Amino acid sequence: MSTSPDGVADAARFAAASLGAEPVFLMARAASIGSAEANRRLADFGLKVRHYSVLSLACGGTAPTQRELSQFLVLDPSQIVAIVDELEHRGAVERQTDPRDRRSKVIVPTKDGHALYGKAKEAVDGATEISMAKLSAAEQRELRRLLQLVAF
């Protein structure tokens, strides 16, 4: 990106445009700004949001299969393979064949993976704080609630 500072330059002139009121555009822009900031911070740990997401779900105790990760994260199964490969190579997660269905592989975190997740979560929370800085605590809760309704 060889653009100026960070794209928030002359927002004022166009924010009032019709496009600036369309939810589809607003969600895309908000998501783009938010995950850019999160990726910037996660880079300290050699992670991106996609790796963080898989690690987070693995650390949630639900023992997700790759197929479930694929569906929940809306990523192709082949992409999950690549993400889990990277996390496994650096010793953050392990693949365990599901005894109830030996075709499936359950993703479980290692001890190091848990520690990494803890630090990464702080980075992501920091990014969230930045991008929601203009909202009160109550507004942040409300935004989260509304987004959950849209996302699920």
Residues interacting with a second copy, by CB under 8 A?
A: 1-4, 7-15, 17-35, 38, 49, 53, 56-57, 59-60, 62, 64, 68, 70-72, 74, 76-77, 121, 124-125, 127-128, 131-132, 134-135, 139-140, 142-144, 146-152
Among DNA, a second copy, none, the one that 115 touches (CB under a kind-dependent 5 to 8 A) is none
CB of 76 to a second copy, least distance (A): 6
62/141 with CB nearer DNA: 62
Among DNA, a second copy, none, the one that 28 touches (CB under a kind-dependent 5 to 8 A) is a second copy
Q: Quick count: other Cβ atoms within 10 Å of Cβ 94? A: 16
- The total number of residues written for the chain in this structure: 152
Q: What are the residues whose beta carbons fall under 8 Å from the beta carbon of 42, sequence distance 6 or more?
A: 48, 49, 51, 52, 120, 123, 124
Round to the nearest angstrom and report the end-to-end CA distance of the chain: 32
Among a second copy, DNA, none, the one that 92 touches (CB under a kind-dependent 5 to 8 A) is none
Does residue 31 touch DNA according to CB under 7 A? no
Contact 59, 77 (CB under 8 A): no
CB of 130 to a second copy, least distance (A): 10
Per the rule left: phi > 0, alpha: psi between -120 and 50, beta: everything else, 94 is beta
CB of 64 to DNA, least distance (A): 8
